[in-house]
Structure 1
């Protein structure tokens, strides 16, 4: 407690001198973003910040249905091999230049071809981007690609000013974007400051003059600063803190359904660390899964507020397959599998985001897995450092969050497809790739379901990932904050959000 109070006291002076006459919205986030460039970004917290900075071509609503943002209309070609977008009239970048078809083409071409872009696999079916006129963009595809709208509702649809695109890998140094707030200052590990962009197409519905993101990994410190009045809103309230927030009359807790999930990524083919027993033998990975119990993790670490799950889609949804449920915990069976694989015990390091909830989850897994024959070393890391380590193959296993997508392909293919931009452990299964390709080519749920089910059966048997649970989103805010609408993707939408004092 003494450490928590000390850290909170260090944060209090940050807000001692507000700008006179301006309204400032102060948000506590769970980590410091690594890369403020949609092309190079790969973490959830970056998407939270991008929601203020960068408009997308399309967005999703609380019902997970697509809705207009920079594109006000879209239409598929009869054969599914092209998507035509109509751009919003009068929209501008934060440097004042118009958001026209040429600018959109420049962004999309960068995302799908630039060396630094992690969006290339998401847009690999796009063979060309055409601009029939200033307000029309036509994406030509090599084959029908049902997830494309979902892709454009995320980082691959975020538009930056063409003036900064020549910076390539260094775009993050000056990300002039298209959203309601313009970046004015960033201090790494400290704060991200923005100001309202008066020229934004929806400026009349943006009610804060300034926006400040404070990366505060410690859940207790975030909550303490909210209670002290130094923050207006915090994301991802820890489950252990929910009862106290619910009792606090000064605060309001908003809960929402979530498409996000937590997973353990296992390095099965990326560099020397994949050569250990865990990475090289599916029997060892099965033993690891049989040594843990997701329901216990949910009850002990998460107050029973989340949903234990071994799949990328939440239970009860169209692409969740109950017949592929996780095997029950059986430490004896786990030890037998290890012996069959030639091991009495297996040791490995589990890299974990340096946040209390994730650390507790890891400790529970460590304790349970010990009974199944595993000696796990937990390595706590800041979010950016963890992402960088997994990208270069410097891990045996790591805990990761995925914020979820409205299309089933976006919930699993980035991790499991051989060219998926999140497939940091280099899992390869040609049959899985073929099933994903077939599922992307059709739009009817009844035709896509069996394809994703077959793919799930294959990768779940190989176990390059162990999904642990689906989140439920919890935000806490001062009573003076109004207009907040929860979204299943966990991203804050700023239109309509008001800050009272």
Structure 2
């Protein structure tokens, strides 16, 4: 079976919004919010159909987009990113940054409690950050987001100082994400690794139950009164219960919202968008996911993909325009860079910078001495020219179909593509543990270009005992230096230029092949109101309500 491992892992946000001076105290609810509270329907259950089951609900450990969509309703963050890319207070009321940009001092809210009744305070923040960097936690992505973290100091009960080993321009961006959401220290100590199935945070909803491959149920936190300013309703949720129904099958998922069985569903397939737009009982809501678009990474540990000419041949033989137009019917945009256009430093000069060229691809392979056999597949020294393409089930966003199309396209230039569709667990073994694959597709939802470090730095190459996402296995000191420079540079314009160079390097050296930019689309029943997205394109339920029929 074909496995599709979706590594939407991180959500980092642009760090240019707050350079280090004090941030304003969190505002009280606006008159607009008060007005909505008087007219909105309260109570009831909102059911939200998701395409895949989360791996776990411990934000300090699990890295997936499926995890994040549920974590965000359970865990709050110290800061929040606003639509204008600025950062505002959330669990922190204000913060200051040291002149050398290596220490952040946060003042915290004094009225917050975890779902288990224990207090949120400076000690809890310190516990969380120390827990993330503890090797025993086995953090898969939060440990990357926290960057050059060194230590935390409890100044007083509601003041914490966070020290970094070096300046980290994406720090506030990282802090705004659910992956650095604050978990209850008492719960973490009680459950250990089982916290992933017993999450305890300070969010607007409390965890109730998880029925494997069926549903995850949350109840309203009646004491909640510290929602982020990105929401109109900063008090208790309007709905009493939020249930995430796990429905991998596209037809079943779409049919369930059309029939009124559930309130809303995610990831509407392209073929359903047109029909749903004309359905009077359905509202379509869309947000473009920011970060790393779906990109195919070519493993350079294997011959001949360690040679530029061989990689360029693959790049020139794949007609991405045809793939995207054929599979997504004009509903997805073609990606040209390993960053999406809304991320700081996006390199627009890469758009339309090359076209498919079968003749040139064949020429490059000829120059490397790979000759065609009787069946058209090239070989050299008795070894066939092949690519081991690993992907996973279910066929989310038609990623398995991409593999099938690439198999046919590369056959034109004499490359045999062996596609393996397997489970996500098996894919992790093949790709993460063994590095046995040649091609593997990844994507990541994030708002800061530092995410490129997680996919192209030498230290991100996965190996025994270390979880990493550099599936190209590329190790280049120049690229590493650029990635480290971008990490520390505080000037947004200078950062932007650094990341433009990195994107050009990836494309020009055919290290990764960007495919499409994912539009996160939700189909909601007309009775579902107030469903919104955060700046990364993830659903928020602070303002959501369900109108009683």
Q: TM-score range by the shorter chain?
A: 0.7 to 0.9
Root mean square deviation of aligned Cα = 2.3
Residues 55 and 178, structure 1, Cα contact 8 Å, conserved in 2: yes
Quote the residue 2:335 is aligned against.
309
Do structure 1's residue 236 and structure 2's residue 283 form an aligned pair? Answer: no
Look up the SS of the partner of 1:40 in the other structure: coil
- Once residues 65 and 489 of structure 1 are traced to their aligned partners in structure 2, the CA distance between those partners, rounded to angstroms, is 13
Q: What is residue 474 of structure 1 aligned with on the other side?
A: 521
CA distance in 1, matches of 2:274, 2:319: 25
Find the aligned partners of 1:256 and 1:53 in 2 and give their Cα distance.
22
TM norm structure 1 = 0.88
User: How many correspondences in the alignment?
Assistant: 473
Deviation at 1:349, TM superposition (A): 2.9
Measure, in 2, the Cα distance between the counterparts of 1:267 and 1:199.
50
**Is the CA contact (8 Å cut-off) linking 2:346 and 2:496 kept in structure 1?**
no
Q: Which residue of 1 aligns with 2:197?
A: 173
Q: Is the 8 A contact 2:290 2:343 kept in 1?
A: no
Query: Which among 402, 405, 414 is matched to residue 373 of structure 1?
Result: 414
Q: Tell me if structure 1 keeps the 8 A contact 2:105–2:162.
A: yes
For 1:264 and 1:488, the matched residues in 2 are separated by 25
Partner of 1:41: 62
**2:3 corresponds to:** none
**Alignment equivalent of 1:93, drawn from 93, 108, 114:** 114
SS in 2 for 1:363: helix
Are 1:339 and 2:331 an aligned pair? no
Which residue does 2:167 correspond to in 1?
A: 144
The Cα offsets for residues 321-352 of structure 1, whole Å up to 9 and x where unpaired, read as 23334521112222222233333433223223
Change in CA separation of 1:238 and 1:57 when aligned onto 2, cut-off 3 Å:
same
1:93-147 per-residue CA deviation (whole Å, 9 max, x = no partner) reads 1101111000110000111233312233332412111121121121112221111
| Paired position in structure 2 for 1:16 | none
- Go from structure 1 to structure 2 and tell me whether the alpha carbon gap of 1:140 and 1:178 turns closer, same or farther (over 3 Å shift): same
| Alignment partner, residue 4 of structure 2 | none
* 1:120 counterpart SS class: helix
Q: Structure 1 residues 340, 188: CA separation in 2 closer, same or farther (over 3 Å shift)?
A: farther
Question: What is the SS of the residue equivalent to 2:185?
Answer: coil
d(CA) in 2 for partners of 1:297, 1:65: 36
Residue of structure 1 in register with 2:20 after alignment: none
**TM-score, normalised via structure 2 length:** 0.80
Question: What does residue 457 of structure 2 align with?
Answer: 417
Aligned mate of 1:322, from 341, 344, 348 = 348
Q: CA deviation at 1:437?
A: 1.5
Quote how far apart the aligned CAs of 1:33 are.
1.0
Match for residue 251 of structure 2 among 209, 216, 220: 220
Q: Counterpart of 2:515 in 1: which secondary structure?
A: strand
In the TM superposition, what is the alpha-carbon distance from 1:163 to its structure 2 partner?
1.5
1:265 aligns with 2:297: yes
Distance 1:372 1:154 in 2: 44
Residue by residue over 1:150-176, the C-alpha shift from the partner in whole angstroms, topping out at 9 and shown as x without a partner, is 111224421111023335444313222
What are the residue-to-residue correspondences of 1:72-87 with 2, within 5 Å?
Answer: 72-87=93-108
User: Which residue of structure 2 aligns with residue 454 of structure 1?
Assistant: 501
CA distance in structure 1 between the aligned counterparts of 2:59 and 2:195, rounded to whole angstroms: 9
What SS does the aligned partner of 1:451 have? helix
Q: 1:60 aligns with which of 70, 81, 84?
A: 81
Deviation at 1:313, TM superposition (A): 2.7
Structure 1's 369 and 259: CA in aligned 2 closer, same or farther, altered over 3 A?
same
1:72 shift after superposition: 2.6
> SS where residue 452 of structure 1 aligns?
helix
Moved more, 337-346 or 97-106: 337-346
- Residues 1:195 and 2:219 aligned together: yes
Task: Report 1:3-42 matches (<5 A).
Answer: 23-42=44-63
Gaps of 5+ in 1: 1-20, 270-274
Question: Partner residue of 1:355?
Answer: 395
- Report the 3-state secondary structure (helix = DSSP H, G, I; strand = E; otherwise coil) of the residue aligned with 2:60: coil
CA deviation profile, 1:434-488 (whole Å, cap 9, x unmatched): 1122122222222112222232333334444222122222111000111122334
Report what 1:290 is aligned to: 316
Which residue does the alignment assign to 1:499?
546
